Amino acid sequence: MKRFKFKKFIIALAPMAGVTDFAFRKICADFGADMVVTEMVSIKALDNKSIKTNNLLREESSALRACQLFGRDAEAINRVLKNEVFNKFDYIDFNCGCPAPKIVKNGDGCTMMKNLEKTRAVILALVNATDKPVSVKFRLGIDGNENYIQFAKMCEECGVSFLTLHARTREQGYAGNVDKTAYKKLIDAVKIPVLWSGDIKTKQDVEYAKEIGCAGVMIGRNALGNPEIFSTLKNKKPPYCKKQAIINHLKMLKTQFKTERTLVAYFKKHLMWYVRASKNATLIKQKILEFTTLKQIENLIDEL
Ligand SMILES: Cc1cc2nc3c(=O)[nH]c(=O)nc-3n(C[C@H](O)[C@H](O)[C@H](O)COP(=O)(O)O)c2cc1C
């Protein structure tokens, strides 16, 4: 079997539910992200042909494109992956790391690290249902059992092409630091490429991940309102300024949201992140919280 290999070291935008919409993914790719990953998408909802879920699969970026799925129903996986909507993606990523109570409660996300034999069947179903490389994103473990090495080996046996480790346990959530020693242990334990997810911010962080043998890094929270992180890390001239990124983001989202109310409620979150580094950020953020119309958002963008 031919092993999967990336053509170069990857600096990717991490999947973030409620954040990495198609417009933000496109903007991060414009700024130099080598790979972008959709928000996690429910296999069950796709199987039920949910329009809202289908919107999560809109993809217009110029980077490598990964679609992240979660769920456990092997038959649904088979049906869903036949959908031609997946043609535009380069990889199918599988979520085994989400710690959110509503996901864990259903036996999805991080819970997939509990019973490896059951999860093996799901991952095999995914690998067999598509011609595309399948990757798996996971954590150190759940319920005090740090079984990430064993879990990764199971994924490798199933024919998974690459792995992304977020080196925190389910119980840690997003708090504290990632366990930096875990990435090297994982790289030494498997033959397939490993991406580092967790606390990547500086060129030194990227260099360290490269040095220990990671095939790439993913950037999550440090990219919020900050697509420039990709051009900075890659020593690339930004394609446009932050204000233009905000304008583009809003313009693209207007084509997706059905009502002004839902768009305003959603975009306010991104706007708060975009203005984080502005002068008078606290004051601006207080103003944003009160916004109820697009006009208010557009007036603020004009003033930036
Ligand atoms: C708001 C938010 C949403 C997230 N949603 C997902 C998701 O849908 N799928 C996933 O695999 N990880 C998700 N993550 C985890 C990130 O992809 C990443 O692994 C984690 O935040 C650590 O990386 P960072 O320190 O660069 O943020 C999410 C993280 C945040 C903060």
Domain assignment present for 292: yes
Query: How many domains is the chain built from?
Result: 2
Cβ of residue 197 lying under 6 Å from some atom of ligand 1: yes
**Is 3 among the domain residues?**
no
CA of 303 to the centre of ligand 1 (A): 31
Pairing of strands 64-70, 134-141: unpaired
Does one domain contain both 136 and 265?
Answer: no
Q: How far is the CA of 119 from the centre of ligand 1 (A)?
A: 21
The CA angle 218-126-106, to the nearest 5 degrees, is 80
Query: What's the pLDDT score for residue 49?
Result: 87
Type of residue found at 248: N
Confirm whether 174 is domain-assigned. yes
Q: Are residues 211 and 286 in the same domain?
A: no
Same domain, 203 and 66: yes
Torsion angle, alpha carbons of 102, 104, 110, 112, to 10: -130
- Does the residue 285 lie in any domain? yes
Residues 129 and 216 in one domain: yes
pLDDT at 128: 96
Give the separation between CA 25 and CA 19, rounded to whole angstroms. Answer: 9
Q: Is 192 domain-assigned?
A: yes
Domain range holding 289?
242-303
Here the tokens at position 164 are 């992304």
Residue nearest to atom 23 of ligand 1 (CA): 198
Q: Please tell me the predicted confidence (pLDDT) of residue 33.
A: 98
Are 119 and 257 within one domain? Answer: no
> Per the domain annotation, does 152 fall within a domain?
yes
- 92: β partners: 67, 134
Residue closest via CA to ligand 1's atom 4 equals: 16
Residues 229 and 246 in one domain: no
User: If DSSP states are collapsed to H, E and C, what string results for the chain?
Assistant: CCCCCCCCCEEEECCCCCCCCHHHHHHHHHCCCCEEECCCEEHHHHHCCCHHHHHCCCCCCCCEEEEEEECCCHHHHHHHCCCHHHHHCCEEEEEECCCCHHHHCCCCHHHHHCCHHHHHHHHHHHHHHCCCCEEEEEEEEECCECCHHHHHHHHHHCCCCEEEEEEEECCCCCCCCCCHHHHHHHHHHCCCCEEEECCCCCHHHHHHHHHCCCCEEEECHHHCCCCHHHHHHCCCCCCCCHHHHHHHHHHHHHCCCCCHHHHHHHHHHHHHHHCCCCCCHHHHHHHHHHCCCHHHHHHHHHHC
Which amino acid, residue 15?
P
d(CA 169, CA 148): 10
Q: Is 16 in the pocket of ligand 1 (CB under 6 A)?
A: yes
Distance 1 CA to ligand 1 centre (A): 32
Closest to 120 in 3D by CA, of 155, 93, 95, 92: 155
Give 68 Cα–ligand 1 centroid separation in angstroms: 12
Q: Report which residue type is found at 182.
A: A
- In the listed set 233, 250, 270, which residue is the last one of a domain according to the structure? 233
Q: Which amino acid is at 226?
A: N
Q: What is the mean pLDDT of each run of 10 residues along the chain (304 residues)?
A: 88 97 98 98 93 88 97 95 94 97 94 96 97 97 96 98 98 96 98 98 98 98 98 97 98 95 98 94 96 97 94
Phi, psi of 301 (to 5 degrees): -60, -40
Residues 202 and 279 in one domain: no
pLDDT in the model for residue 1? 60
Tell me: do 212 and 291 sit in the same domain.
no
Please tell me whether residues 109 and 135 are part of one structural domain.
yes
- List, in sequence order, every residue forming a beta bridge with 197; answer none if it has no partner: 166, 218
pLDDT number for residue 263: 98
Ligand 1 pocket mutation pick from 10, 11, 13, 16 by most atoms within 8 angstroms of CB: 16
